[in-house]
Structure 1
Amino acid sequence: MRKFLDSLYLGAAWLAALFMIGVLVMVLLSMLGRTLHFYVPGTDAYAGYAMAGAGFLALAHTLKSGEHIRVTLIIGKLTGGARRGLELWSLTVAVLLAGLLAVYAWRLSWQSHQFHDISTSADATPLWIPQILMAVGTTVLLIAFIDEWVLELQRKRLHGHAETRHE
């Protein structure tokens, strides 16, 4: 299971990297178009979709790599059961919030599909397509938080800056 989860987080990160390349391609295409006097409709919109996709898809890997910003002012001074209790409480809240975010991201995508909602820019892209990236990214983040919560319950979670583990 550990190997599958780590592959899931890494796969989402690689997909995020591909979307960052997509942002670069759209920006370069737009610049080239201005320089050579041709217009490619939707480059700004697609760059935005790719940027949002990259951001959401990278969330879980960032969490599992210990790179999310974490305020440790209080928890850093605690030890033993008090620290573990606060860690579990924090992770429980994170799981609940990530779960809500994932549910509402999927709901938004589904409603956009049902209502045939399209982009107001020149590309007229059905909005459920880029919104799927947000839904997938938040779902993988939810899985990562559940993973962290289970590891904390099992006392296998590493604390510190780099929280990656290889078992």
Structure 2
Amino acid sequence: MVRSVLDSFYLVCGYLAAAFMVGIGVCILAQIAWRMRGLTLDATEASGFCLAAATFLGLAHTMRHGSHVRIDLLTSRLPGRLRHRMNILNCLLGAAVTGYLAWNVGLLALQSFNFRDVSPGLLAMPMWIPQTGAALGVAALSIALLDEVVWLLGGRDSRYGAPDEVRIDAPVA
């Protein structure tokens, strides 16, 4: 039950990230259409907010599918048990850092909401809206990292490595 809830949560975050990517495209197309009519539409700020939301909301989904860029120069050379323990430590450290970041970005969004802070550009959008997307995305990544720690503590191999990943030291056919 918990597994399906978490997987659904990661998937929803991935869909939200994709929706914000579409939002970037819509902003660009709107600017082009208006420019072709001789009018000016400044959607740059809205595109930036969509980019921030897409980036942060996509973190957990991307990690769960093994698509994050990982540099394992050290861990790849460790023996199996030590590598496994290092993966647990890395996930715990990542969860702590992203949890701390999520907490503070969440507090920033709450503060922006309480002070009715708006963006400085032409759009004057309430700042809590994009900040909430960033906080939710980082919190989702922190949850995904803790989920991975629980998985690893069960004695299993990590799930975040891509099954078809290319190793630099592997011979290329």
Match of 2:168 in 1: none
Count of residues in Structure 1 that have an aligned counterpart in Structure 2: 162
Match of 1:83 in 2: 83
Match for 2:135: what amino acid?
A
CA distance in 2, matches of 1:53, 1:127: 12
Match of 2:63 in 1: 63
Deviations 1:60-112 (A, max 9, x none): 01111111111111111112321122111111111110111100110110111
Question: What displacement does 1:24 show?
Answer: 0.2
Match of 2:151 in 1: 151
CA distance in 1, matches of 2:157, 2:120: 45
Q: Is 1:31–2:32 an aligned residue pair?
A: yes
Match for 1:15: what amino acid?
L
Determine helix, strand or coil for the equivalent of 2:148: helix
Determine helix, strand or coil for the equivalent of 1:135: helix
Alignment gaps of 5+ in structure 2: 165-173
CA distance in 2, matches of 1:155, 1:33: 57
Q: TM-score, normalised by structure 2?
A: 0.88
CA distance in 1, matches of 2:107, 2:94: 20
Q: TM-score, normalised by structure 1?
A: 0.91
Question: What displacement does 1:54 show?
Answer: 0.5
* RMSD after superposition: 1.5
Question: What displacement does 1:27 show?
Answer: 0.6
Question: What displacement does 1:130 show?
Answer: 1.2
CA distance in 1, matches of 2:153, 2:64: 16
Contact 1:20 1:51 in 2 (8 A): yes
Match of 1:124 in 2: 124
Contact 1:148 1:157 in 2 (8 A): no
Structure 1 segments, 4+ long, off by >2 Å, are 156-163
Aligned-pair identity in percent equals: 35
Which moves more between the two structures, 13-22 or 78-87?
A: 78-87
CA distance in 1, matches of 2:108, 2:163: 34
